[in-house]
Amino acid sequence: MQYIQDILDFLMYDLLRIPLPIPSNFSPDKLKLKFKIHKENRGYWLEATKYPGLIASGDNLAELRTATFDAVLTYFDVPRAYALRMPDIFILNMENGKQLLPPHSIRASVATA
């Protein structure tokens, strides 16, 4: 059923250029949150220090970054049509000074700050 919504969204927002629904409680500065990262036997998980319930997990750091980006968009109730067309600029800052960058970043996926 989701593919029908995807087709409708494509027709409305990409072909007909109807303005995207603007999220009411989200702005790009929400992508600069601080997280406490935990290492477990089977991977990683994190929690936002300022927003209770904003958590994500992944088997590796790349999965953790992607899951965190999705969790932030979900937490702030960003409409799906907007989220799918939003550029992935999310950088996950690690406690050791390293950064997990977007997959299509010019720099490597793990860079030092």
**Is residue 110's pLDDT more than 50?**
no
pLDDT in tens, 33-77: 888 999 999 999 999 988 999 999 999 998 999 999 999 999 998
Rounded-to-integer distance, Cα 12 and Cα 102, Å? 28
The rounded mean pLDDT for the chain is 83
Domain ranges across the chain? 2-87
Share of the chain above pLDDT 90, in %: 28
Measured distance CA(93)–CA(84) in Å, rounded: 23
Of 68, 66, 85, 65, the C-alpha closest to 23 is 85
Burial of 56 (0-12, 13-18, 19+ CB in 10 A): buried
What's the rounded Cα separation, in Å, for the pair 43 and 63?
Answer: 9
Predicted model pTM: 0.76
The whole-number pLDDT of residue 111 equals 44
Q: Where are the alpha helices (DSSP H) in 1-113?
A: 2-9, 61-75, 80-85
Q: How confident is the model at residue 113 (pLDDT cuts 50, 70, 90)?
A: very low
d(CA 110, CA 99): 6
pLDDT value at residue 108: 44
pLDDT band at 16 (very low <50, low <70, confident <90, very high): confident
63 or 6: whose pLDDT is higher? 63
Q: Do residues 35 and 28 lie in contact, with contact meaning Cβ atoms separated by under 8 Å? A: no
